[in-house]
Amino acid sequence: MGGSKKHYILLDCGFTTPHRYFADCFDPDQLEALWISHFHGDHFFGVPLLLLRFWEMGRVKPLLLAGPDGLREKIEMALDLAYPSFLGKLRYALEYRELEDGDSFQGAGFLWQVAATEHSQPDGRYTVGSANLAKGCTLMVHEAYRVAGQTANHGSLAECLALARQAGCEKLAIVHVAHYERERKSGELRRLLGESGLPGVFLPEPGESLDL
Ligand SMILES: [Zn+2]
Ligand SMILES: [Zn+2]
């Protein structure tokens, strides 16, 4: 993606992300950008460990951090709680990019465009803006917290499949399925995926990689 050179970005960094990330990555300078969708722990509480490990490994390359307004403050708070006074020791720069609905910029070899979604923190059910962004995408990564029905501000699997069909996405990765739903409703989940008419739909497993 992003031309002939490979670019590395990380989308959200939850509790277990650094462990998974460093199981495969031994180059401290490989990651170019980290995107944080919103400030719930399962999306950014892994950042202190990620940054600490890069420091331990001798990272020198600046890291782009992109996300919603207040990103810098939240990351610095989390760092300070996890490893007090660590921020001052970093030998690589953190370059913050705080974005609002409709913003776009070029960074790490990508064109980034953002649109707000619905959630108590904005990461959930799609909106007109986020549906527009999805049009013609090669890969859509979308949350579906519930297999059927709805929780406030989160989407359901059925909604998500409909959105991908409408948008004409080649591949759809369904993420953020509630743990209890993934387990108890696995039959219904598989059936919905099978009947979706989307050959490229899948539930990514930890560490799974995909060539685009
Ligand atoms: Zn959330
Ligand atoms: Zn979440």
**Domain with 137 in it: what CATH number?**
3.60.15.10
Let me know whether 88 and 122 are in one domain.
no
Mean residue pLDDT of the chain comes to 90
Q: Which of 114, 130, 150 is the last residue of a domain?
A: 114
Let me know whether 85 and 180 are in one domain.
no
Let me know whether 88 and 123 are in one domain.
no
**CA atoms in the 13 A half-sphere facing the CB of 155:** 25
Let me know whether 22 and 123 are in one domain.
no
42 assigned to active site? yes
Let me know whether 160 and 210 are in one domain.
yes
Strands 63-68 and 171-175: unpaired
The yes-or-no verdict on residue 1 having pLDDT over 50 is no
**Distance of CA 60 from the midpoint of ligand 2 (Å):** 31
Let me know whether 127 and 187 are in one domain.
yes
Band (pLDDT 50/70/90 cuts) for residue 2 is very low
Residue 35's pLDDT is 96
**Distance of CA 152 from the midpoint of ligand 1 (Å):** 11
Residue 15's pLDDT is 96
- Of 24, 29, 42, 80, the catalytic one is 42
Let me know whether 193 and 120 are in one domain.
yes
Q: Which of 97, 114, 131 is the last residue of a domain?
A: 114
Q: Which of 94, 114, 134 is the last residue of a domain?
A: 114
Selection from 150, 74, 62 nearest residue 160 by Cα: 150
Let me know whether 14 and 110 are in one domain.
yes
Let me know whether 108 and 156 are in one domain.
no
**Distance of CA 17 from the midpoint of ligand 2 (Å):** 13
Let me know whether 3 and 85 are in one domain.
yes
Let me know whether 21 and 107 are in one domain.
yes
Predicted confidence (pLDDT) per residue in 70-123, tens digit: 999 999 999 999 999 999 999 999 999 999 999 999 999 999 999 988 776 655
How far from 33 is each of 37, 60, 94, 112, 209, CA to CA, in Å?
Answer: 13, 14, 10, 11, 18
Average pLDDT over residues 183-196: 90
Domain count, the chain: 2
**Distance of CA 46 from the midpoint of ligand 1 (Å):** 14
Q: Which residue has the higher pLDDT, 27 or 132?
A: 27
Of the listed ligands, the closest to the CA of 117 is 1
Average pLDDT over residues 52-74: 97
Let me know whether 109 and 139 are in one domain.
no
Band (pLDDT 50/70/90 cuts) for residue 128 is confident
The yes-or-no verdict on residue 65 having pLDDT over 90 is yes
- The protein residues having their C-beta less than 5 angstroms from ligand 1 (an ion) are 40, 121
Instruction: Print the domain residue range for 157.
Output: 115-212
Residue 121's pLDDT is 61
Predicted confidence (pLDDT) per residue in 143-176, tens digit: 888 887 767 677 788 888 988 999 999 999 999 9
Band (pLDDT 50/70/90 cuts) for residue 182 is confident
pTM for the predicted model, two decimal places: 0.86
